[in-house]
Structure 1
Amino acid sequence: MSGTREPFDPFLTKLLAAAGGKASAPIEDIKNGIEKIKTALHLARKWEEGIFDGFAALTRTVDQIIQEQPSVNDDSIKSQGAPLDFLSTENGKKLLASAAEKVEEMASKVPCDFQLSPTTSSPSSVSKEIPMNEEEFQCMAEKITAPDPGLTNLNIVYDYLDPQLKRCFLYFSAFPENKVIRRRIMIYWWIGEGLVAPTSNGRTAEHVGEECFKMLIWSNLIQPIYQKHSKTAKYCKIYPWARQMLVSKAEEYPENFFTFDQQDRPTFNSMQCERACLVAKEEKDQVAVTVKSKPNELRSLFNLSAQYLSCNKDQLASLKAIAALQLGRWQYLSRHHIEFTDTKFLEALQFLKGLRYLSLQGISRIIDLPETIAGLTNLLILDLRSCHNLENVTPAVTSINSLTHLDVSECYLLDKMPQGIGSMTNLQVLKGFVVASTRSRDPCRLSELTQLTKLWKLSIRIGSEVHIGEDLSELSKIESLLSLKITWGQMKSSPMKIREPKTMKGSAPLEITELKTSSNKTMKRSPPSQITELKTSRNKTMKGSGSMKESMVLAFSLLKLEKLVLECVPDEDSMSWLKPGGFRGLKRLYIAGGKLRKLSTVTENDGWNVEILRLKFLKELKLEWVDLKMKLRQLRCAQIYECPNILYSPSGFDDKGYWVRNDEDASSSSMAGTIAPV
């Protein structure tokens, strides 16, 4: 088998290079299909080996019993019919019955379809839009049709997984069934414990984790949840019948993978295993982070359901072997927040020298991190997302050279980033970078990010009263960038009143959350995708949440960029840099919110390779869908939502504003391509 497979990989590599951006969707389908087949063949080989071993043992047993019979051992009657004569005897019939039971037992373990049912692995069959309302989302997730558990013997599939995938799967035993689990949380956890790591051929640990996640989906062990018209599952849940098997396997694992109570909830018991979970029996219960015994052996601590926590510095400092510390929120929606009675426990982080993953996501009352955090010399991932009281990122963070992921997104009180981020040469993902105003003292500038040669994912927030000007063109020097998000928004320097925009019937209401700084100044924030007009306390109107008109930015190139998200764009000049020649690899373009009136940078230029387009909450944007579709000839999926001035035929769109290319559209687009100049 290996001899016939070897020539394929070079062929696929050449095919990808030759196709470039022209056939990325089919090529991705081919790659995914091949990986799925490899998974199936791997399981099939494992099962085949087990079956052959079983039959070999059975054959030896039968042969030995037959040879021990006197009639068979007698040389005078050894012939082809002698064994058959024996099998017609009483002992022979018992032997046949025993052999039949053995064969039936092996047959019962045969998975019906090693390629697995498309019911769970096809985006089209489980394609669901992730709604904004939690109850609606949970209801949707519970209604997803799951395959008959009889179709696949989960124990057999699990037994044939390689050791890495077995361990990856066991981490899911911590979660209740039917709860939505984010892929990113699981991958970060795996990275923290060293279960997935970078490869010698340049693949990052996160990409390796994504492949493991896919393998578990294709093995029918976890149930994927797809966003509408997406082929990539970013969320999943545990099959109801798989949960019990998971708990059993986790308890059977050497030294216990997790320990569970009588309700199969993971417990905080460091005396019996290397992993522990913080679980609140009642919603408002306060849970203390206390170590009963063997703190030096605890590798992972995960906050599963505790909203109110207390933590003693000495207790935390005793966790010398801790590698993954998830104290913050893991749930999908932001309504889940965490509160500590006192944040002084953060000072003990300096003693956790082996810590690789630290999540404080959604924890309130954290204003800053202590400078002693610089002592975490092995830290890879620092997640501060949605720490709404965070006002400052200590410069000590920039001395953690090992850091690959830094997330300070949705920290709306931050008004700058510390200088020195450019020296964090291993940084791959940076979310929430704040472009500060000229009045800020010693901020980090965009030009400093050009030193980050491994950075592939970046999101930035341009504050009010910030003239970004030509600084944005510095991004062209980050040649490794694959994903970029730019949000024009407000910061704490000028408290603002937000006027709620009108929404369509059935759309999610605008959430406004009150925040307070350390000086007790109250702020209100709103989802950036829905901000259309802001007013300062002096009643000066700022469009797109930017206080002044942006300077024209010259076009620049990011040839490898695949995804671009723009939120609250104040005017068309702010997008003047976006030209097709400099973004040939761009496949996904999302624009949401703001005061954008025209989209001439797209409609007046040819040569786009965009395949997925989303336009949302653009109430002043005027254009015609037909003209837009003619320019985006590679377009296969689009969404137009709450954009009342875009002219299009509703018959081609569903109730969520989605349009999907059909064969007729593809044919007309191809004809247009032969006529229109390029």
Structure 2
Amino acid sequence: MSSINSSHLSVLVNPGSTLAALLRKGKQCKAVNWKKRTTMEKQESVIDPAKVKGEIKQILEEFNKAERLDSLEKKGMVKVLQKIEVVFREIIGDDPSTEEHYGKLADEIHEKVNDLMNSPKLSPYATGAAASSSKDDFSWNQVREREDQGAFDFESALKVLDYKELRCLSFCFSFFCSFSTPVEVNKRELIHWLIGMDLIDEPLEGQQVLAKLVAEEVLCPVTNGETAQSSRLTIHPSVLANPSRRRLDPYEGMQIDRLFISSILGPLRRISLQTVDRLAAINTSAYTLNAKIFDRLFKMKKAKVVHLGSWHPDMDYVVVEDIIIKVLNELKNLKEIRFLSLQGISRLQVLPNSIYSLSKLKILDLRACQDLADLPKGIESLQQLTHLDLSQCYELHNIPKGITSLVNLTVLKGFVVDPDSDHSHTRFRKYKKRLAANCQFSELSKLGKLAKLTVRTRMANFPATHDLEGLCEMQELKKLRITWVCGTTTSQEADPSKVYTLRRFPLALQKLDLRATPEAIASRLLGLIGNRSHNQLKKLYIRGGGLWKLDLQKYCFPNVEVVRLRFLPKLHMNWYEFKPCFPKLTRLEIFRCPHLIFFPCDVNGIWEEQ
């Protein structure tokens, strides 16, 4: 990193840190015994707007020099400015009279952040992040060359799409074309939006539709140059370059108040939002959810897709103003919602009861709501729910028993198995009564359609025998991930002779992902799967933990085709010991496994059968 770049970044960080400290100090002074202070003490603690504006002016001057910085430093600058904006919003929320001084400054910082995030040096399309590394990779340079040579025929591509695929493409176009520069969207998010809009019925159908759109190159995958598999999509660059291609009936979209809004009728400027059928409202750039955004949202009585949280890598958190937490209760008036995402929203400690009144809700995304600590009773009212994502909600320690009544649930992420929520070994009656309202892992077997499950646990001997019994009753379960987090403890059923008396595993399971697995548990779990010719396991991922050896006599996985091994410092094997354990292996990925020797992997740790 050049010295010029480093000095620019430090010049930005220093006034930024000074400003943040100044604002927080003023906020604390306002909060602590304000009424008891003397007039002189109050004057000393009041923030000087002139000094604040001076610091902001210096920051923005350095911000305008950002073209000379590389991508990494730009991201650092963005993070600093985002944090300063959050402090401004907090100050204004505590003292509305400061809106006059700081409201415009906060908006100006937000706009500058957006400009920098949309600049070419932060875009993978300009930096070569999508460089080709295999036959399936996507290269932007190749696409532009084909477009210049006339090899890409947009109109011909549309002719081979059926009615459903065209409608899905229309919605995708309305979203991507509302941005002035290319943006990337995770396939999962895009599929969930299409389900919410009633354009497709299930994720598998969505994968097929997107695969067809990618095959015709109207949508393009974005890879990182290390793997041919891409989880993100964007629009073909020729569409953005040609305004006549941007509109594709029947959907149209535009951005209003930092919300993307899509409708199925004519231009939004000519119609009333209350009368539009099939509305989608997606947060595009608001790091702080304020009253203005919700005023716009609550006018959309027929909204089906509401994505208030984050959805792209540069937007890893969203702050909700304290007063807005109460406003979330008004979501109960949006009766048509099928998809709701509050992903990454902070300060949300309890899920509003109003969400339980959304009887048509199919997908509820609460991922990375790191302050979420409680799911109130009543979740059983969401009978249409098929997807529930609670992953990365680290303050959440138990799940209400009502979840077992969600008969249509097919995907459950972030289920918590905690010693505090397990009443199977609790001696005291009063604690048993209190914990009886929590859902136990074995009770998930009541979810007859459950196909994908991720679990987070602090119990070192999980899963115990009764957990495995419940797991084996999940006959539709195809994907399972278990993560053992820091601070794992052992329950009373710790005697190895009492654990794993059950000698079977879910037969329909196709993918198993084990993370930070204790050594004894990893050995026993893999032993249940190994040497079982009738199981259907195709993918085995092991990340971290104490696994140290795979013995051919004990572990043979006859149907596994893909293996991923990461962060396994204790695992000692060579290729000639490893390969017989996986006779049908077609792909192997290795990362940070220093004692796996003589493996025929490339520089990226990948081996594929030719």
Paired residues of 1:603 and 1:627 also in contact (CA < 8 A):
no
Q: Which residue of 2 aligns with 1:478?
A: 474
Residue number in structure 2 paired with 1:613 = 563
The alpha carbon displacement at 1:236 in A equals 1.9
Residue 642 of structure 1 and its aligned partner are, at CA, apart by 0.9
Partners of 2:523 and 2:547 within 8 A in 1: no
Match of 1:630 in 2: 580
Residue 380 in structure 1 maps to residue 356 in structure 2: no
3-state SS in 2 of match to 1:420 = helix
**Retained in 2: the 8 A contact 1:427–1:455?**
yes
- Structure 1 pair 616–228 and aligned structure 2 pair: CA distance change class (3 A): farther
SS in 2 for 1:258: strand
Asked if the contact 2:287/2:315 (under 8 Å) is kept, the reply is no
Residue 465 of structure 1 and its aligned partner are, at CA, apart by 6.5
Contact kept, 8 Å, 2:409 with 2:450, in 1: the verdict is yes
* Residue type at the aligned position of 1:196: I
Query: Partners of 2:354 and 2:397 in 1: how far apart?
Result: 22
**Which residue of 304, 318, 324 maps to 1:323?**
304
Asked if the contact 1:560–1:583 (Cα under 8 Å) also holds between the matched residues in 2, the reply is no
2:192 is the alignment partner of 1:188: yes
**Which residue is 1:308 aligned to?**
288
Determine the C-alpha separation between the residues in 2 that align with 1:292 and 1:338.
Answer: 30
Between the aligned residues of both structures, percent identity stands at: 30
> Is the Cα contact below 8 Å between 1:435 and 1:466 reproduced in 2?
no
Distance 1:661 1:399 in 2: 49
Alignment of 1:329-478 (within 5 A): 329-331=310-312, 333=313, 336-341=316-321, 342-438=324-420, 441=435, 442-464=437-459, 468-473=463-468, 474-478=470-474
Q: 1:529-678 counterparts in 2 under 5 A?
A: 545=488, 552-553=499-500, 554-578=502-526, 579-580=529-530, 581=532, 584-600=535-551, 604-646=554-596, 648-649=597-598, 652-662=600-610
In structure 2, how many angstroms separate the alpha carbons of the residues matched to 1:314 and 1:185? Answer: 25
- Residue by residue over 1:640-662, the C-alpha shift from the partner in whole angstroms, topping out at 9 and shown as x without a partner, is 2111223x225x21222112224
> How far 1:399 moved relative to its partner?
2.0
> Counterparts of 1:218 and 1:415 in 2: how far apart (Å)?
43
Deviations 1:173-230 (A, max 9, x none): 3235543321111111111111112xxxxxxx11111111011011121112457897
Could you state the TM-score of these two structures normalised by the residue count of structure 1?
A: 0.60
Task: Give the direction of change, closer, same or farther, for the CA distance of 1:229–1:482 in structure 2 (3 Å limit).
Answer: farther
**1:271: how far off?**
12
Distance 1:296 1:412 in 2: 40
SS in 2 for 1:489: strand
Q: Distance in 1 between matches of 2:583 and 2:361?
A: 44
Distance 1:390 1:471 in 2: 29
> Contact (CA 8 Å) 1:572, 1:599: kept in 2 or not?
no
Shift of 1:380: 0.3
Q: Verify: 1:294 aligned to 2:273, yes or no.
A: yes
**Is it true that 1:240 corresponds to 2:237 in the alignment?**
yes
Q: 1:275 to 1:633 in 2, by over 3 A?
A: farther
Residues 139-148 or 410-419, more deviating: 139-148
1:562-599 deviation digits (Å, cap 9, x = unpaired):
11100000113344133231772111100001222333
Correspondence 1:244-259 to 2 at 5 A: 244-245=241-242, 248-251=244-247, 253=249, 257-259=252-254
1:37 alignment partner in structure 2: none
Which of 104, 121, 127 in structure 2 is aligned with 1:139?
A: 127
Provide the C-alpha distance between the structure 2 equivalents of 1:418 and 1:591, rounded to a whole number of angstroms: 30
Q: Distance in 2 between matches of 1:411 and 1:603?
A: 40
Report if aligned partners of 2:533, 2:559 keep a CA contact under 8 Å in 1.
no
**Structure 1 pair 619/235, CA: closer, same or farther in 2 (3 Å)?**
same
Q: Larger C-alpha radius of gyration, 1 or 2? A: 1
Q: Which amino acid aligns with 2:290?
A: S
Per-residue deviation, 1:464: 4.7
Report the Cα distance in structure 2 between the residues aligned to 1:323 and 1:348, rounded to whole angstroms.
15
Unaligned runs of 5+ in 2: 1-121, 132-137, 423-434
CA contact (8 A) 1:258 1:273 kept: no
Measure, in 1, the Cα distance between the counterparts of 2:341 and 2:398: 21
Q: Specify the SS of the correspondent of 2:233.
A: strand
CA contact (8 A) 1:316 1:345 kept: no
Q: Measured at CA, do residues 565 and 364 of structure 1 come closer, stay the same or move farther in structure 2, by a change above 3 Å? A: same
Measured in 2, the distance between the counterparts of 1:311 and 1:292 equals 23
> In structure 1, what residue type is equivalent to 2:211?
K
C-alpha distance 194-162 of structure 1, shift in aligned 2 (>3 A): same
Report the AA paired with residue 443 of structure 1.
N
The structure-2 alpha-carbon separation of the partners of 1:394 and 1:605, relative to structure 1 and needing over 3 Å to count, comes to same
Give the 3-state SS of the residue equivalent to 2:345 in structure 1.
coil
**Structure with the largest fraction of helix:** 2
Which amino acid letter does the alignment assign opposite residue 157 of structure 1? A
Kindly tell me: are residues 546 and 654 of structure 1, through their superposed partners in 2, closer, same or farther at Cα, counting changes over 3 Å? farther
Deviation at 1:318, TM superposition (A): 3.4
1:219-234 alignment to 2 at 5 Å?
219-225=216-222, 233-234=230-231
Aligned to 1:171: 171
RMSD over aligned CA atoms reads 3.2
Secondary structure of the residue aligned to 1:187 is helix
**Take 1:484 and 1:228, find their aligned partners in 2: how far apart are those partners?**
28
Is 1:436–1:466's contact at 8 Å kept on the other side of the alignment?
A: no
1:48-86, Cα deviation, whole Å (9 max, x unpaired): xxxxxxxxxxxxxxxxxxxxxxxxxxxxxxxxxxxxxxx
- Aligned-partner SS, 1:566: strand
Cα deviations by residue, 1:214-251 (Å, 9 ceiling, x for unpaired):
11011121112457897764322222112245x64554
Asked if 1 retains the 8 angstrom alpha-carbon contact of 2:252 and 2:265, the reply is no
Match of 1:347, as an amino acid? N
Amino acid at match of 1:455: L
1:584-626 per-residue CA deviation (whole Å, 9 max, x = no partner) reads 21111000012223334x6623352111111110112223332
User: Matched residues in 2 for 1:469 and 1:398: separation?
Assistant: 27
Conserved 8 A contact 2:412-2:454: yes
How far does the alpha carbon of each residue in 1:435-479 deviate from its partner, in whole angstroms, 9 at most, with x for none?
122556232111211111111111111125775421331111111
Question: What amino acid sits opposite 2:545 in the alignment?
Answer: G
Q: Measure how far apart 1:138 and its partner are.
A: 7.7
Alignment-mate amino acid for residue 163 of structure 2:
P
Output the CA distance in 2 between the equivalents of 1:250 and 1:640.
42
Q: CA deviation at 1:294?
A: 2.7
- Distance in 2, matches of 1:269 and 1:475, equals 41
Q: For residues 252 and 432 of structure 1, do their structure 2 counterparts lie closer, same or farther at Cα, with a shift above 3 Å needed?
A: closer
* Preserved CA contact (<8 Å) 1:555 1:576: no
- Written as runs of structure 1 = structure 2, the 5 A alignment for 1:118-129 is none
Q: Amino acid of the residue matched to residue 218 of structure 1?
A: A
Q: What are the equivalent positions in structure 2 for 1:519-530 lying under 5 Å apart?
A: none
| Matched residues, number | 447
Checking the alignment, whether the CA contact within 8 Å between 1:558 and 1:582 is kept in structure 2 is no
2:346 alignment partner, SS class: coil
Q: 1:453 to 1:356 in 2, by over 3 A?
A: same
Q: Structure 1 residue aligned with 2:484, among 488, 505, 512?
A: 488
Q: How far 1:135 sits from its partner (Å)?
A: 7.5
Is the Cα contact below 8 Å between 2:226 and 2:604 reproduced in 1?
no
